[in-house]
Structures are given as C-alpha cells and as structure tokens.
Amino acid sequence: MNWLAFESYFRLGFFASGLLVFWLAGLLFSFRSRAQVDTSRWFHNTVLTLFNSLLMRVLLPISLVALADQVSESKLGLMNWLGLGQVPNLLLSLVLLDCVIYFQHIVFHKVPWLWRLHRVHHSDIGFDTTTALRFHPIEIGLSLVVKAFVIVALGVSPAAIVVFEVLLNFSAMFNHANFSLPKSFENFLKVLIVTPDMHRIHHSVRQPETDSNFGFCLSVWDRLFQTFTARSALDLQADNIGLAEFRTAKDQQVHKLLMQPFQALSPKSSKSDSV
C-alpha cells in the first residue's frame, strides 16, 4: 500500500485537531479577551485559508510530498549524495527546513513588494490561532516554490516533508494562540521553541518589534542571528497588535485582504512607525 496516497488525510487530521485545541485554549485561557478584538475575523481568516487551499490544489501540478518522493527515487540532492540514512535525513531536514523558513520570513519583511504580501498576515488586529492561517495566496505560492527548491537541493525525503509540514502547522497555530503559559514554563520552553508570548512581540504595532522574533518552530535562529526580542515595550494586552494602517473591521474582510497588497500606501506608512 502506498502511504503517500493517505498523507494528505494524515496532515489534515493533525491540522484540524491542532486548530481546535489551540483555538479552544485561547477561549478558555485568554490573554486578550473576546471583548478586545473583533471575533468576526475568525470567519474571514478561515475563508481565506479555504480559498488558499483550493487554489493551490488547482494551480500546483505536484505536491511537495510527491516531489520529495521523486527526488528520493532519483537520488537527487545533497543528503542522498552523502548517503545519509533515514533518521539523519529526517532530523537534518527538519532543522534545515526550519532555518530556511526563518530566513524566508526575514526576506518577506525586508523586500518591499514581498512585505506588501506578508502584511496581510500582520494586519490582523487580533492575535489568535486563526492568525496563523491568514496569508495572501501569492505568498503561499512563493513559499511552496522555495520549499520545492530546497527539497531538490537537499534531497529531503517524503517522510521528512510530512513531519515538517505537520510541525510547521502545529508550531504556527501554537505560537499564535491567544494564551500565555506560566512564566517559569514559558522561559524554559522558549529556549527551545517559539512560544505565544515570544511570537506575539513579532505582531506588535511597534516596527522594531515587528522586525524581530522571526522564528516559527525553533527559537535558536533568532538568538543565533541576533533578531531576538525578549519583551515588548508596549502592553500587548491592549490595542497594540497589528498594523497602524489597517485597524477597521472592513480591513479584516476577505476581499480586502486579497486586494491589500495592491493598495498603495505613503512611503512613511509602508511599515508601522516606531512608537
């Protein structure tokens, strides 16, 4: 039996369970109360996610897992040439892919036209698990292209791609969740992985904080490359999440999110001003 035929159901099961668990945790142990944010965002963020999923399935000729399977069969890529076994391939692939996502994230912040795409994610005036789903379809497509090049160059195995995509989705939903962990546990955990309090700083309206804490899963990259911010200068329980240019409920609607990258802003407001 070809397990690749069922990998999408495997990933969907983990995605759905993670979304439900972290969303409910955000309701039961809220860092910011429902009264502080517009919960209609949940609908628009979810619709955008469904739209992106259907669009990518229609437009892309091959999935990342199927591509990795072809690469493995053809013995392409660095790790295949080195003759690494399954376990070293898996572990090294997870670390390297997470590093690639870290640097990709920085590039989407620093290159103006890519920031126009990525600001769809940052313009969410709330911060909860649905924020982790909110990306412009062009950004999703570009990210898939980057991953495809990495798969071919490194010889990433199909199993490594499945595990990485599950970890990436779980990490994103966890570190965008609307709760805080006990401080001692939080300080221990963020030495290893990105936590909600750490990533919440990345969604601050204060631009220097937005340009920090770029990691999604492992927190080591921010520390290693000196992009780590330990605490915000703002009260993030107050109205200090998102971007200053997109604060209305209308800005959070699906059609506005899809058109947002093509909306011209003044040079001064191309990123939120420092406060």
275 confidence band (pLDDT: 50, 70, 90): very low
According to the model, what pLDDT value does residue 84 have?
Answer: 77
CA 169/CA 98 separation, integer angstroms: 12
pLDDT digits (tens, 9 = 90+) for 224-257: 999 999 999 999 998 899 999 999 999 999 999 9
* DSSP per-residue codes, 148-192: HHHHHHHT--HHHHHHHHHHHHHHHHHHTSS----HHHHHHHTTT
CA 252/CA 177 separation, integer angstroms: 18
62 confidence band (pLDDT: 50, 70, 90): confident
pLDDT digits (tens, 9 = 90+) for 143-185: 999 999 999 999 999 989 999 999 999 999 999 999 989 999 9
Q: Which long-range contacts (CB under 8 A, 24 or more apart) does 99-104 make?
A: 99/221, 100/146, 100/147, 100/150, 101/168, 101/216, 101/217, 102/214, 102/215, 102/216, 102/218, 102/221, 102/222, 102/225, 104/143, 104/146
Examine the pLDDT at 211 and tell me if it is beyond 70.
yes
According to the model, what pLDDT value does residue 34 have?
Answer: 76
Examine the pLDDT at 125 and tell me if it is beyond 60.
yes
Residue with token string 């990495």? 150
According to the model, what pLDDT value does residue 216 have?
Answer: 92
CA 124/CA 247 separation, integer angstroms: 8
Instruction: Provide φ and ψ at 218, rounded to 5°.
Output: -80, 135
Higher-confidence residue: 79 or 213? 213
Residues 31-40, mean pLDDT to the nearest whole number: 82
Q: What is residue 77's DSSP assignment?
A: S
According to the model, what pLDDT value does residue 11 have?
Answer: 83
Helices (H) and strands (E) in the chain, counts: 13, 0
Helices marked H in 60-125? 64-74, 78-82, 86-110, 112-122
CA 66/CA 271 separation, integer angstroms: 38
CB-CB contact of 217 with 163 (8 Å): no
CB-CB contact of 168 with 101 (8 Å): yes
CA 59/CA 57 separation, integer angstroms: 6
Examine the pLDDT at 51 and tell me if it is beyond 80.
yes
Domain borders along the chain are 12-269
Q: Please, what is the average pLDDT of the chain?
A: 90
Q: Rounded to 5 degrees, what angle do the CA atoms 260, 263, 269 make?
A: 100
According to the model, what pLDDT value does residue 274 have?
Answer: 40
According to the model, what pLDDT value does residue 4 have?
Answer: 62
According to the model, what pLDDT value does residue 47 have?
Answer: 96
The tokens describing 111, both together, are 């290159």
According to the model, what pLDDT value does residue 267 have?
Answer: 47
3-state secondary structure at position 29: coil
CA 16/CA 201 separation, integer angstroms: 26
Question: Which is it for the CA torsion 171, 175, 176, 178, positive or negative?
Answer: positive
